[in-house]
Chains A and B, each alone.
Chain A
Amino acid sequence: ETGVTQSPTHLIKTRGQQVTLRCSSQSGHNTVSWYQQALGQGPQFIFQYYREEENGRGNFPPRFSGLQFPNYSSELNVNALELDDSALYLCASSLAGTGRTETQYFGPGTRLLVL
C-alpha cells in the first residue's frame, strides 16, 4: 500500500449536482495530482497541486476545481455533474523538487456514478 488514502470509496450523484472528493497524500509528500479514469481507458490528468496552488492542468473544463491544504491533503470539486463524469477518480502524491524523475504514488480511487 502507498499510504495515499481517498474518500469516499464510492459515490452516486445525479446530473447537475456537485461533488467533493478527498485525498490524503503519503507521508513526506507535498504534491497531489488528480486523474480521471473512465471505464476501459487509461487515467487522464486533471490537475496537480503544489504548495496549495494549481501547478498544471489537463484538458478539463473549469467546473473541475481543486484545493490543497497546508497538510498537503487535497480536494477535487466537480460542479454541474454530467453523465460523462462517471469514472474512477485517482489521486496521486509525490515529492516535488526532484524534477521529472519523481514518482507518483496512487490511492485506491473514488468511483463516481452520475445518474
Chain B
Amino acid sequence: AQSVAQPEDQVNVAEGNPLTVKCTYSVSGNPYLFWYVQYPNRGLQFLLKYITGDNLVKGSYGFEAEFNKSQTSFHLKKPSALVSDSALYFCAVRPYGNKLVFGAGTILRVKS
C-alpha cells in the first residue's frame, strides 16, 4: 500500500534556529513527493516537490527538502526558522494515477 508517515505530531523550534519536519514514505516504483503547508482556516499551499534529479530540492519561502532513497525519507528543512513559519505541514506522495496520498500532518511551532 502507498503511504506517508510523519512521525512527529508537533515540532517546536526557536526563531532563528534550523528546523526539520520529518517524512517517510512507502511506495512501489519511483516516488513523486510533495510538501504543502496549511495555515489556520486556509487551504494547502504548495512548497516544493521532488520528481527526479538532485536529492536536495529548493522551494518557496526558503524551505528545502532532502530526498533519501535508501531511507525512504523526504524531510523538510529550513536553515533559520521564522515565527511566521508556524503552521501545519503535510508531506504527500503521488504513487500513480491522479491522487495525492497525504501524511497526517505535523504542527510546527516557532517561538520568538
A interface list, Cβ under 8 A from B: 2, 4, 6, 31, 33, 35, 40-45, 48, 50, 55-56, 58, 90, 92, 100-101, 103-109, 111
B interface list, Cβ under 8 A from A: 4, 32, 34, 36, 41-46, 49, 51, 90, 92, 94, 96-105
The answer to whether A101 and B51 touch across the interface, beta carbons within 8 angstroms, is yes
What are the residues of chain B within 8 A of A2 when measuring CB–CB? 43, 45-46
Main SS class of interface, B: loop
What are the residues of chain B within 8 A of A100 when measuring CB–CB? 32, 51, 94, 96
The answer to whether A56 and B98 touch across the interface, beta carbons within 8 angstroms, is yes
Q: How far is the CA of A56 from the CA of B97 in the complex (A)?
A: 7
Q: Nearest Cβ in chain A — how far from B78, in angstroms?
A: 20
The answer to whether B103 and A42 touch across the interface, beta carbons within 8 angstroms, is yes
The answer to whether A106 and B51 touch across the interface, beta carbons within 8 angstroms, is no
A42 contact from B49, B99, B102, Cβ within 8 A: B102
Q: With CB as the reference atom, state the residue of chain A lying closest to B34.
A: A103
A33 contact from B43, B98, B104, Cβ within 8 A: B98
The answer to whether B43 and A4 touch across the interface, beta carbons within 8 angstroms, is yes
Q: Nearest Cβ in chain B — how far from A36, in angstroms?
A: 11
Q: Nearest Cβ in chain B — how far from A40, in angstroms?
A: 8
* 15 cross-chain CB contacts under 8 A: A2-B46, A4-B43, A6-B43, A33-B98, A33-B99, A41-B105, A42-B4, A43-B102, A45-B101, A55-B98, A56-B99, A100-B32, A101-B51, A104-B46, A106-B43
The answer to whether B44 and A90 touch across the interface, beta carbons within 8 angstroms, is yes
What are the residues of chain B within 8 A of A43 when measuring CB–CB? 44, 90, 100, 102
What are the residues of chain A within 8 A of B103 when measuring CB–CB? 42
What are the residues of chain B within 8 A of A111 when measuring CB–CB? 41
Given A42-B104, A43-B90, A101-B51, check contact A58 B46 (CB 8 Å). Answer: no
Q: Nearest Cβ in chain B — how far from A52, in angstroms?
A: 15
The answer to whether B100 and A104 touch across the interface, beta carbons within 8 angstroms, is yes
